[in-house]
Every structure is written in structure tokens, then in C-alpha cells.
Amino acid sequence: MLKCLPVRNFTGRTSYLKAWLDLDAKEHGRYVYLGEMPSNYISGLAPTVQDEVTLHNLFPQSDTATTILSLLRKVGLDKKFTSNPFDLSGGEQSLLIILCNLLINSDKLAIDATFEQLNRKWRTPLFDLISNTEYDLPNMLISDNRLGEYNVRWSQQEFTNSWDGLNTTFRDIIFSAGNIGWIEARALSLSKVSFGYQRNNLVIKNCSYDFEPGMIYHLNGENGSGKSTLSKLLCGLYKPYSGSFAIGGRVVDLYQYPGKFLGYCFQNPDDQLFRSSVKKELYQTGQGKESNQTNIVDYVVKLFGLEKLMDMHPGDLPFVMRKRVSLAATLCNEREWYIFDEPTIGQDDINTMAICDIIKYLAKQGKGIILITHSEYFINYFDNAIQITLANGTF
Amino acid sequence: MQIHPYTRLAVLCLGVTGCVLSCNLLELGIFELIMLPILIGNTSIKIVIIFFQYAILPMMAMFFLFHLLTGSLESYQYSHEMLIVAKLIVITTLIQIAFIIPLKFVHFTFRKWGFKGSSLMILVGSYFVWVDVVKRSQRILIARFSQGYIQNRTFISKIRQMPFIIIPLIIGILRTASERSDMWNRKDIRSQLDTAKFSEINGKSLYNLSLYTICIVWVLYNILKYYSV
Amino acid sequence: MEKSNNKRSVNTSLKIAFIPLAVGINLGIGAIVQVLKLPVFLDSVGTIITALLLGWKAGATVGVLGFAVSSITIFPPAIYFSLTQVCIAIYVFLAGNVGGFRSFSRTIFSGLGLAVLAAIVSAPVIYYLFGGITGNGISVLTLFLEAKGLSKASAVIISGIIAEFLDKVTQCLIAVYILQRIPKTLIQQFKNKSLVSNNFIRE
């Protein structure tokens, strides 16, 4: 049975996991910690996925090694053996680092929220492998916010630590503000849009859809289906080869106005935190001027519990808080439509629910929301979310 | 047709020595005609085009322009400068043959050159990791676009983004370095790198032996010629 | 039982993990500048930052490796100027130890000194290997000075110093700008004397 640590944010679980690893550590043992951002745990010493696997000694013979390799093949990562590990998606990198570290001579492995980015169809074979006591796997301790979604039996590790109060349960704030001047979104349409990074290899093929404001859309699709490419097209980052976009029924060339109609909150918050204090981050606008939407900024600050952190450097904050600051900054830089890419990574159940409520509130205020997530718990919380699946470059 | 690490060293040391001693444009040209296809076979013609575009052609143009403007197009000066350009081309070709290593043979090559432990990690890392850094900077630039901070795609707009790209880039790098070094320590990856079996090259192939022969002949010929003059 | 050499091995690993990433910084910024055809190189920002964070040896390693990888990817002649990178790392380390980057004016002054050093160290390479002409904008200045009657050697050194002023001062300012804006928790782990001397962190 897996040992797990289902605790709230800011209760010191990362420190606990690292301390557990170092407890009774032997001189030449192997005690690995895997965190939220998988690219930090790729060795950086291997040019291809195959070399990465070789480096972690997966090819030498043992039953466990053979099973892990066959799991790599089962999930299709063997087709990426000649790719650069940094070219893989977040979910693929998470899977790669977990599998590479499962074979470390029965020492310890601490996994901190690394499973959250995995595709649903990979979870079953992976957890079957991890739960199977026949294999010679390391002693594991897992801290994850989505344990209820994984079909696996687990036992709770003893853990007592006080919660430092940074998690304001702000559901009562969310709906109390009413309308504070949010701009309502207009309808967003795609008409036969095609695009690819190379002309002869289209990622988005003749894609058409009508997005209605005030609705929440869940953009579904396998890795490589074009979700992130479509998001970038909607933000005006690339010009489609054919087709057009329309806002409120009027055709608009989004490429001429990058980032004007849609706000995109990225999966990795570190990609979009640019300033040296949380205050500056929230008050900056696209035109380099300070925001005059002080009522929106004040509301967002209360919403995400950032009052005490305004003068801090975002880089000094833990990952979970940086994620919240990036969400807050996206909202402060107000747009009609928002795309949220994995907004609940690292957030515990209660904070996840709060983010769900914020999104529902925004939809009620007339905003249009597109969500990209692998969390079933998160999506099931929205009764009226519209599922749209991208496959073969179209819906 | 892969070049063995020892062959690379031979091409570099013997080839460059021969070039330094050589004073004959024609001989340098012939040697370059032999080495250039080897370079192109090792990598692609792109790096050759870049070299000519950014270094050789501007250099030659400036030499010519200088003499044209000062009215000193005497043949002695001209051939002296052509010799410099020729030596530069050949030496750069040899350096690129030595150091442009197909990624799957990087570990094997540096190990054969005697590197292990920390130095091997640094060298191998430098060959691969820069790609990740460039990708991160592209992601940050995309984030700037998508937040509406870049209103147009002009030259000036892009320059103005540089401070906003470089700070998050370096913060990300520091964080990665910290986590990665911790993971390396915990996993003793240094000894794994020294012992893991990566792809190898057969140094006794006809291709490698031919390269050795060409370089040995080249350097001996130039040594004899230099000391007989 | 704790792992032995824990503190020492953490610092060594951090150095080893950081150096390839800093090589990436050198390459990334250098490549952007080349594409935009700016009148500067900006190819040593990673070297300067590493010398201030980790010392001159690490800085020199970043510089040399950065130029080596650059010469096999984007700019082939880069490798010939590797010695210049070593000298840049040593200079920055020494200047940093005495607080040479503590303020804006000090940084400019240090940058000027760096420009002179870089020009002098690069001059023999340009003179002997390139015949005085490297094919970039600085060469136009060299030719002009030579046409005015200066010897080739003097023309190379003087044009190098003039061109390096803008480039090296800009790079020092960029490096200091970055180090002042990085969260202190991230650079505190580097424990280098330069960081305290230049007020990047407090002791």
C-alpha cells in the first residue's frame, strides 16, 4: 500500500519530505525528491530520452527494469526515444522522471505533486506498477492534492504540523463583491482556421467553433493534439495560414493585436512573473502604464490572500503562492476571455475549490473561460462546463 | 561514417599544425576541398554557410574595399591577405570537424578524451542544456505577447522586452540549478554518468583510418617543406 | 548517519548544474543580438554573472564553453576569442571582490576597464589570425584608422577599445541589473564574497 501525505498547502510538507529522505540516510544510498516542475528533475546530462533512460540504468536486466521499460512502451514514450527530454510536454516529463527514478536500489523516493500533470490514461498502468509489491521498488512517500482521483489504495503517513494561516478560505469574499466593473466578453468564433509550425505539417486543421461569453469551456485533448497551439493562436501569437477569427460577430485579425482580447495564464508561473514585487506585478498593464483599475486589483488581492505579500519578490514565494500570484496578475490585466492552463497545480482541495468558485464568478460576470486541465475533480466541480475535444487538429 | 574521438583529435592537432606551417594557397585549397565534405557529412552545410556569411565574405569585402580606396592593389598584399583568409577557413573547418559531435556520441567522445566526474558533467551539460534555456526564453517572450505587453512586432518593441525576459529566465535557471544539483547529489548521478553505457564508435573503420592518413601526410608534407626552405 | 561532505558537495553540484545553464544565457543573448544585428555582442553576460556568483574559474569555464558551443552553432569564429573570456572572468571576479559593481558609476568604471582589457587581449588574435579584419562593424573603424596612417597593430587596439566600450559597459550594467533584481533567497546559496561586497545580498 502506498504511503501518502494528503496535507494542506503551507504545512511544511516539502521540508517534511526532504527530512524523511535524509532520516537514517546511508553513505552511498539514493534518496530522491521529485517536485512540481518536472523539467527541474531531468538530468540535463542526456540529449535524448533514450540516453536519459540509459543514464538511470533502466536498460540493464532485472524484472523491475523490464516492467518499467514495457510501461514506457505501453504509454508510447518509446516513440520519443530520440527526442530531447526538454521537448516533451509536462505530462510526458513527469512520467519520464517518475519511471527513471523508480529503479534506485530500494532506497527512498519522495514524490511531491508530480502526478498532477499526468494524462488520465497513464495513471492506471503507473499506479498498478507502483502498488505491485512483487517489484523491487524504492520506499516511497507521496504528497499529492489529487489522491482521490487516482484509482489506488493508500495509507496516510503520520504528520502533525500547524497550518500557518496563509490559506484564507475566501469563498465568502468571492461572491460578495458583486459587479466591480468587469468588462463583459463578446462571442469568440473560429472559422476554418488552419495552422502548423511547418507548412507541410498542420497542427490545427480547418478548425471551427463558436465560443459563447459567460460559459466555461474545458479544452480536452491528448498530448500533441494542438491545445497549446490553439491557445497561442487565440492570443494572437501566430498568424493562421487560412481561416479567420471573429469577436462579437466582427472578423478580427488577432495577430495584429496580440494579447488584447484573451488573457493566458500559463502552466508554469515562473514564465510570467516579470516584476520585483507582487504589487508591481499586479498593477502593471500591457501599455507599460500602471493600472487604474484599482477596485479590480484590490478585489483580486483580497481574493487570493495576497495582502501581506505585496512588497515581496514573487520569486521568494513558494510555488503554490507563485501560481496564485500569476493567476491574480492575469485577472488584474483584465481581458474579455481567459485561458487557464492547469490553474490548480499544487493547490490543495480547499484552494482548488476556491479557484473553481473564482472561475464561476468570472463566468457569471460575463467573461469567457477556457480551461486546460487533467484534474477530473476540478472539472466535475463545474456543472455546466462544456467539454470540447481537440483531435487531429480540429473539434 | 562516424568520426572516432581520437580521429577528431588527430584532425585538430595534425591538421592545424600543417595549416600553420603551410604558405601555399593551392595546397590549402586542396586540403580544404577534402575536409569540407567531411565537415558537411558530420553536420550539415548550414554551419558552413553561416561562417561564410558572417565572417569570410565580410572580411574579403573589407580587404578589397580598403585596397581599392587607398589605391594599393599590389599583388603581394593581396595574396598575403588571401593566405590569411584561406588559413582561417581551413583551421575553422578542422575545429568544427573536431567539435561538432552528433549528440548521441557526446558522452563517448568526452570519455575517450579523458574527461570524467565533474568535468564530464559540465561538458556534456553544456552541449545539451542551452537548448532548454533558449526554449525558456521563447516561452517567456510568448508570455509577454499573450499578456498584451508587446503592441507591435517592431525592432524597438522587441529590444524593450529584453529586461523583462532575462530576469525571469535567470530566476528560473537559478531555481533549476538548485533543484537539479540537489537531485544529482541524492542520486549520485556522477558515478552513473561515468559508468552508463552509451552509443560507441568503431575507430578502426576505413573512414577513420583514411582521415588519420590524410592528416599525417598533410602535416609531414608541410613540416618537410617548411624546414627545407 | 548523515552523508559526508554534504555542504561541500552541495556547492560543487550547484556549480556544475549552473555552468551549463549560464552557457545557455551567453548563447541565448548572443543569438538574439546577432539576429537583431545590434552594434554590440552581449555574449558574455553569463560569464560576468557566473564570475560574480561562483568565482573566476566557473566564470572562465562558462565563457570558454559558451564560445566553443557558439562556434559550432551560430558564430564559428567565436572559439578564437576564448582567452578573452578567461580574462573577463578574472577581471570581473577581482573587480567584484573590491565592490566594483556596488553602484551605477562604479559599474560603468569597471565596464570601461573591462573594455580596455578585452580589446588588448583580443588584439593579437585579430591581428595575427584575422589580419586585422574580422568582418564586423569594428573592422570599418580599424580600416579607417589604418587609412589615416596608424600602424595596423595600433588601429586594431584603438578600434577594439572604442567598440568594446559600449559592449562591455552595457554587459556589466545588464549583469548588475539582473543580480539586483533576483530574489535574495536564490542567490544567497552561492555564498560568494562578491555578492556581499556589491550589496547584492546582505551578510
State pLDDT tens for residues B206-221: 999 999 999 999 999 9
- Which of C21, C38, C45 has the CB atom closest to B133's CB atom? C21
> What pLDDT does A59 receive?
65
Contacts with B, C 55-84, CB within 8 Å? 61, 65-66, 68-69, 71-77, 79
Give the three cell numbers for residue C20: 551549463
> How far apart are the C-alpha atoms of A210 and A215, rounded to whole Å?
11
* Helix, strand and coil in chain C, % to nearest 5: 80, 0, 20
- B170, C16: Cβ pair inside 8 Å? no
CB neighbours of residue C151 within 10 Å? 10
Region B31-56 average pLDDT:
87
The total domain count for chain C is 1
In chain C the first and final C-alpha atoms are separated, in Å, by: 31
Can you give the residue range of the structural domain that contains C120? Answer: 2-197
Chain C contacts of A276, Cβ < 8 Å?
A: 181
Q: Which residue has the higher pLDDT, A88 or C60?
A: C60
> How far apart are the C-alpha atoms of B142 and B130, rounded to whole Å?
19
> What pLDDT does A329 receive?
92
C151 in a structural domain: yes
Contacts of B among chains (3+ CB pairs under 8 A): A, C
Q: Which residue has the higher pLDDT, B194 or C87?
A: C87
Judge whether A30 and A104 are in contact, CB under 8 Å. Answer: yes
Q: pLDDT tens across C117-157, in order?
A: 999 999 999 988 888 888 777 888 888 888 888 888 899 99
Identify the DSSP state of A208. E
- A315, C1: Cβ pair inside 8 Å? no
> What pLDDT does A381 receive?
86
Give the three cell numbers for residue B168: 525571469
C202 in a structural domain: no
- Which of C34, C49, C133 has the CB atom closest to B62's CB atom? C133
pLDDT of C182 above 60:
yes
Contacts of A among chains (3+ CB pairs under 8 A): B, C
- Kindly give the residue spans of alpha helices, DSSP state H, lying in C74-192: 82-97, 104-124, 130, 137-147, 152-181, 184-187
CB neighbours of residue A74 within 10 Å? 14
Judge whether B143 and C157 are in contact, CB under 8 Å. Answer: no
> How far apart are the C-alpha atoms of A338 and A270, rounded to whole Å?
18
Judge whether A42 and A96 are in contact, CB under 8 Å. Answer: yes
**Amino acid making up residue A138:** P
Q: pLDDT tens across B82-96, in order?
A: 888 899 999 999 999
- A315, C4: Cβ pair inside 8 Å? no
C103 in a structural domain: yes
Pick from A250, A285, A260: nearest CA to A337: A260
Q: pLDDT tens across C8-44, in order?
A: 444 788 999 999 999 999 988 887 777 666 777 888 9
- B118, C12: Cβ pair inside 8 Å? yes
pLDDT of B223 above 80:
yes
Q: pLDDT tens across B25-42, in order?
A: 899 999 999 999 999 988
Q: Which residue on chain A is closest to B167 by alpha carbon?
A: A274
Q: Which residue has the higher pLDDT, B48 or C31?
A: B48
Look up cell 463578446; give the residue: A186
- B150, A270: Cβ pair inside 8 Å? no
Chain C contacts of A316, Cβ < 8 Å?
A: 183-185
* Helix, strand and coil in chain B, % to nearest 5: 85, 0, 15
C130 in a structural domain: yes
- Kindly state whether A24 is in contact with chain C, defined as any CB-CB distance less than 8 angstroms: yes
Q: pLDDT tens across A209-236, in order?
A: 999 999 999 998 877 778 888 999 998 8
- Kindly state whether C12 is in contact with chain B, defined as any CB-CB distance less than 8 angstroms: yes
> How far apart are the C-alpha atoms of C168 and C160, rounded to whole Å?
11
Going by pLDDT thresholds of 50, 70 and 90, the confidence category of residue C3 is very low
Q: pLDDT tens across A236-253, in order?
A: 889 999 999 999 999 999
Give the three cell numbers for residue C33: 543580438
Contacts with A, C 146-185, CB within 8 Å? 181-185
> What pLDDT does A132 receive?
81
- Kindly state whether C1 is in contact with chain A, defined as any CB-CB distance less than 8 angstroms: yes
> Using CA atoms in the order B205, B211, B217, B218, what is the torsion angle rounded to 10 degrees?
-170
Helix (H) or strand (E) holding B25: helix B25-42
Q: What count of residues does chain A have?
A: 395
> How far apart are the C-alpha atoms of A133 and A108, rounded to whole Å?
15
Which pTM was predicted? Answer: 0.89
> How many angstroms away from the CA of C9 is the closest CA of chain B?
7
**Amino acid making up residue A365:** Q
- A51, B151: Cβ pair inside 8 Å? no
- Which of C3, C20, C182 has the CB atom closest to A315's CB atom? C182
> How far apart are the C-alpha atoms of C21 and A44, rounded to whole Å?
10
CB neighbours of residue A265 within 10 Å? 24
C189 in a structural domain: yes
- B197, A54: Cβ pair inside 8 Å? yes
Q: What count of residues does chain B have?
A: 229
- C185, A316: Cβ pair inside 8 Å? yes
> What pLDDT does B77 receive?
60
pLDDT of C52 above 90:
yes
Chain C contacts of B59, Cβ < 8 Å?
A: 130-131, 133-135, 139
**Amino acid making up residue B27:** E
Contacts with A, C 17-56, CB within 8 Å? 17, 20
Q: A374 Cβ partners below 8 Å, 6+ apart?
A: A91, A116, A117, A118, A119, A120, A342
Q: pLDDT tens across B122-149, in order?
A: 999 998 888 889 888 888 988 988 888 8
- DSSP states of A267-314: SSGGGG--SSSHHHHHHB-TTSSBPS-HHHHHHHHHHTT-GGGTTS-G
C48 in a structural domain: yes
Q: Which residue on chain C is closest to B46 by alpha carbon?
A: C73
Chain A contacts of C1, Cβ < 8 Å?
A: 24-27
ipTM above 0.90, yes or no: no
Q: Which parts of chain A sit beneath pLDDT 50? A: none
Give the CATH number, domain containing residue C104.
Answer: 1.10.1760
> What pLDDT does A159 receive?
73
> How far apart are the C-alpha atoms of A189 and A187, rounded to whole Å?
7
